[in-house]
Amino acid sequence: MIKQISFKHGWWYFYRVHEPKTAELTTNYPSLKKYLYDMFTDCPHDYFLIEPRSSKLRFNLNNLKLKHIDKHEVTELTKQGHVHNATRYQSAHSRVQMFMLENDRNTLAIEVPLWLNAEELQGYEKLFGTKNPLTGHIDALRIEDDKVWIWDYKPNAKAEKFASTQVFFYAYMLSKRTGIPLDNFRCGYFDAINTYVFNPNTCQFTHTEQETLQELQKGF
């Protein structure tokens, strides 16, 4: 039912795909299904051993329209995961992720590996200071109302300063890897109390390197 593999990407990541839910939920997203299965055999592991990583980005994308939601479904799943998996897993991430994968009807994969090549974003080298691929791992991938949702669990979501940037680039990377338009994605980060969501398509990259940098680096 759950297909899994361990990746040594600096430290250990446990990539898992719920096969029945993936078959059911990706009917309109065949390229996403293909990508999820390709990662079991064709993940470029060397990319993940070097910087930059999305989780370490320290700038804001000021034109994201971040929305706070009380009592979102994922906060309830988080609470249940902490209780249900309290003795099964030591880390809060694993408790939440595995509960969602095993019990939530919309979660189809966790720790999904992603990367972005320098030529896939104008101004990349100036923005990140390198031509090395940007990498990351999605905490929880869901499909709801025919939108692909990128979720990141943050134990203290309210205090996060750069989580929206991290999750935006997850969506941007998965869009590039699958060919799914960015408007088909939604993003969020959460804990057991707070949920923050946004539409990544509201962040429009400009046409020149300098303009791109000016837009992206306002939060530095």
Output the six-digit token pair for 123. 């101004």
Name the 3-class secondary structure at 199: coil
Say what the pTM is: 0.92
Cα distances from 215 to residues 34, 59, 61, 123, in angstroms, run 33, 11, 7, 11
Q: Tell me how far apart the alpha carbons of residues 148 and 141 are, in angstroms, rounded to a whole number.
A: 7
- pLDDT digit of tens for each residue in the chain (220 aa)? 999 999 999 889 999 999 999 999 999 999 999 999 999 999 999 999 999 999 999 988 877 889 999 889 999 999 999 999 999 999 999 999 999 999 999 999 999 999 999 999 988 998 899 999 999 999 999 999 999 999 999 999 999 999 999 999 999 999 999 999 999 999 999 999 999 999 999 885 544 434 554 454 444 3
